[in-house]
A and B are shown apart, each in its own frame.
Chain A
Amino acid sequence: MNTHLALEFAQTDILNHLVALDAAELDALDFGVIGMGADTVVRDYNALESKFAGLSKERVIGHPLFTVVAPCMNNFMVAQRFEDAAAAGAALDTTLDYVLTLRMRPVKVQLRLLAEPGSERRFVLVNRRL
């Protein structure tokens, strides 16, 4: 019954599964999830991401991701990819190695960037690299 628990960071067609989940279901995932609208304002921020970053959902949801929440992604490696995909009307599903500054510690992660031309919802998924 808890089909979402089977969701994995790397699985294909993950965007369609994610949009179907509510907040509690996103919280149950074992990777970080940041969802935002086309305006980059954060809509979803799951429990794991909140714990990694040391920020409660209230401080993050409703704020622009790249300026108020995660300036570290505001460069051509992350933010620009979303802009480029939107400008080209193309789907975005790419995974890259990155370093996040979670509670000011440099933490190696994999980021998966997801966007669909027809969908308002965009996601950044965060997986810790070993």
Chain B
Amino acid sequence: MAVDAVEAEYDLEQEHEALIQFVYVAPAGLVQARSDGEIVMINPVAAQLMMPLSRDGNLSNLFTALSDIAPDLRSRMAAFTAPQGMVCDGIHLPVPGVGKSERRLFSFSLIKLDDKRIMAMLQDVTWQAKRERLLRHQEAWLNAVLTGVSDYALINLDSRGCVTEWNESIGRVTGQGSDIVKRSLAVFYPEDAITPERVLDRLHEADHSGWSLDDGWRQRANGTRFWGSAMIAPHRALGDESPLAAALAGATHPGYCLIVRDMSGHREAAEVAHHAALCDHLTGIGNRRAFFDAAESELRRWHRLPRPISLLMLDVDHFKKINDSHGHPVGDEVLRHITRVMAATFRQVDVLARIGGEEFAVLLPSADLGNAQRAAERLRATLEAQPAPTDAGPVHCTVSIGIATMDADTPNVDALLKRADDALYAAKRSGCNQVCGPGVVAEPS
């Protein structure tokens, strides 16, 4: 018995030591601290990464030791009111180079365990980030240059996305002359297909991931359109890895390179694939997925940089009656008529989608309540005035419209939809054929 007890104790010691070594050599920095940042436990990799950052040569407090690279940790912690959970999840912290050591990139996660304890994980991801950026870069550039294209224009942009100089390829592909110098890259898009905010979003995306690519209609100087793609990539400052980090460090942004490709030969294939995935079969406008994809990315952009965004919810009035008296094929023709009028009413940058049987949503980027209300009223009035041409003759149809605009109290797409939906029901209750929204008085028709 006594021998067993001694052996058991020996096993436990061995296990304890193995466990200690396991944490010693774990290739990630682990720190447990009190909620005020006071370090309770820390493993060697955490010390390896944090010691060069610590101004006082101590590792007593997590927030203090990291204050140079993450000055907002204390306030992030204070702002996190949930009883537990992820305070930051793998955020990237650029670490300035010291002496001979190069600039590095740390990945940092912070978890609140309870009121008293937090846990942090720190990793040096400098090489992973470089490798990934390089791969994405190569892929995007190969795609941009090598994929069978009719022609491409190479355009230099300044830090705000304005053309810095004219060259022959611009003239060849877009027909633009030297008067486009100093004009925004929006000049290559059809009118209403891009907003100033969206231009900045794309530059931000290019800074963040090394490039930004989108396919769609482009416009030549003479107003004709071609199916093309536009890729934006930030120029690298000499000896610099990330223009974003350089900009943060106060250096001048070196600007961007824009490649506009004429992909006329590829349009059909691209459009078919796009259509199958994202378009409503009956009406040809966007489907639910297209709407939610667009709305979610627009709201993400809003959270980074708030700007007006409005949402319309539309419901066809008494649609059941139309179906019952004329049959479903006529009902379908009415829906197609409505979407044609919608397409003629809204801008190209607006996202039109059929999200239910006779229910539609329109997302209007960079449109405030007034813009949204005017567009909605125009649509309502046009539909009231123009009956749908159908096999059964002209069918009179009207719509009710609810409007919501994005604000800080709206956490996500569902909440925004819910508010537009509430407004829509207010419009229905006021007798249909109405536009309702926050502060919008239902106008008697």
Could you mark each residue 67-105 of chain B with 1 if its beta carbon is under 8 Å from any beta carbon of chain A, else 0?
A: 000000000000000000000000000000011110000
Q: Which of A78-105 contact B (CB under 8 A)?
A: 80, 97-101, 103-105
A76 and B44 form a contact (CB under 8 A): no
B24 and A71 form a contact (CB under 8 A): yes
> Which of B23, B44, B51, B99 contacts A70 (CB under 8 A)?
B44
In the assembled complex, the CB of B9 is this many whole angstroms from the nearest CB of chain A, namely 15
Complex interface: stretch among B56-64, B170-178, B318-326:
B56-64
> CA A103 – CA B22 in complex, angstroms?
11
CB-CB < 8 A to B24: which residues of A?
53, 55, 69-71, 101
A59 and B21 form a contact (CB under 8 A): yes
Q: Which of B146-190 contact A (CB under 8 A)?
A: none
> Which of A68, A70, A80, A101 contacts B100 (CB under 8 A)?
A80
A75 and B52 form a contact (CB under 8 A): yes
**How many chain-B residues does the 8 Å CB contact rule pick out?**
29
A106 and B57 form a contact (CB under 8 A): no
In the assembled complex, the CB of A78 is this many whole angstroms from the nearest CB of chain B, namely 9
Given contacts A56-B17, A76-B52, A77-B51, contact A106 B44 (CB under 8 A): no
Q: Is the C-beta of A73 less than 8 angstroms from some C-beta in chain B?
A: yes
Given contacts A55-B21, A76-B99, contact A101 B46 (CB under 8 A): yes
> Which of B46, B58, B98 contacts A108 (CB under 8 A)?
B58
> Which of B23, B39, B52 contacts A106 (CB under 8 A)?
B39
Interface extent on A, as a size class? 20 to 34
Q: Is the C-beta of B366 less than 8 angstroms from some C-beta in chain A?
A: no
In the assembled complex, the CB of A1 is this many whole angstroms from the nearest CB of chain B, namely 35
**Residue of B27, B46, B51 ringed by the most chain A CB atoms within 10 A:** B51
Kindly report which residue of chain A lies nearest to residue B101, judged by CB atoms.
Answer: A76
CB-CB < 8 A to B41: which residues of A?
104-105
Kindly report which residue of chain A lies nearest to residue B48, judged by CB atoms.
Answer: A72
Q: Is the C-beta of B145 less than 8 angstroms from some C-beta in chain A?
A: no
Given contacts A99-B57, A106-B60, contact A71 B44 (CB under 8 A): yes
> CA A100 – CA B24 in complex, angstroms?
11
- Secondary structure type dominating chain A contacts: mixed
Q: Is the C-beta of B43 less than 8 angstroms from some C-beta in chain A?
A: yes
Given contacts A70-B44, A101-B47, A105-B41, contact A75 B101 (CB under 8 A): yes
> CA A22 – CA B54 in complex, angstroms?
37
A54 and B60 form a contact (CB under 8 A): no
> CA A99 – CA B51 in complex, angstroms?
7
Q: Is the C-beta of B342 less than 8 angstroms from some C-beta in chain A?
A: no
CB-CB < 8 A to B248: which residues of A?
none
Q: Is the C-beta of A119 less than 8 angstroms from some C-beta in chain B?
A: no
Q: Which of A103-120 contact B (CB under 8 A)?
A: 103-106, 108
Q: Is the C-beta of A74 less than 8 angstroms from some C-beta in chain B?
A: yes
Q: Is the C-beta of B42 less than 8 angstroms from some C-beta in chain A?
A: yes
Q: Is the C-beta of B118 less than 8 angstroms from some C-beta in chain A?
A: no
CB-CB < 8 A to A99: which residues of B?
47, 51, 54, 57-59
> CA A89 – CA B127 in complex, angstroms?
30
**Residue of A73, A77, A100, A101 ringed by the most chain B CB atoms within 10 A:** A101
Q: Is the C-beta of B273 less than 8 angstroms from some C-beta in chain A?
A: no
CB<8 Å pairs between A and B, sample of 6: A54-B16, A59-B17, A77-B52, A80-B100, A100-B47, A101-B24
**5 additional A-B residue pairs with CB within 8 Å, beyond A73-B44, A77-B52:** A67-B25, A73-B48, A75-B48, A75-B51, A98-B57
The 10 closest A-B pairs by CB, nearest first: A72-B44, A72-B47, A104-B41, A106-B59, A99-B59, A71-B44, A76-B101, A97-B57, A72-B48, A54-B20
Residues of B participating in the A interface, judged by any CB pair closer than 8 Å = 16-17, 20-21, 23-25, 27, 39, 41-49, 51-52, 54, 57-60, 98-101
